[in-house]
Amino acid sequence: MADEEEDEGPVVELGEETPVEGQPIARVASRLTWPKQASWVERQEGDAVIRTPSGPQTLSDVLDRVDETYFDKRQTFIEEVRSVVGTGPVETE
């Protein structure tokens, strides 16, 4: 076989790395299987710090403000959390 050069594509400069506290809610949701009760999610992942437009918050604090007590699927969980914390740009340090 002939050696083929791999196509590397264009190089994109991303700028300086800006630290962002917390983790995306989708990452937390991906660690769980669904359906789940809100109390179970809080026991398992309540101490996780998530990214929100108003700064990092613990999932436990956010779940205290969510009206749902049962999440039938991952998307329902994410939508409920986002309805409390909002969507938009995340604050950086």
pLDDT at 45 over 80: yes
Nearest residue to 92 via CA among 17, 15, 18: 18
Contact 50, 59 (CB under 8 A): yes
Tell me what pLDDT residue 6 has.
56
Q: What percentage of the chain carries pLDDT values higher than 70?
A: 81
The model's confidence at residue 15, banded by pLDDT at 50, 70 and 90, is: low
Tell me what pLDDT residue 56 has.
93
Mean pLDDT calculated for residue range 26-40? 96
DSSP-H helix ranges across the chain: 25-30, 38-45, 59-64, 74-85
Contact 42, 72 (CB under 8 A): no
The model's confidence at residue 80, banded by pLDDT at 50, 70 and 90, is: very high
Token couple for 8: 């590397």
Please give the torsion angle defined by the CA atoms of residues 29, 33, 39 and 40, in that order, rounded to the nearest 10 degrees: -120
Tell me what pLDDT residue 8 has.
66
- Could you count the other beta carbons within 10 Å of the beta carbon of residue 59? 22
Mean pLDDT calculated for residue range 67-88? 96
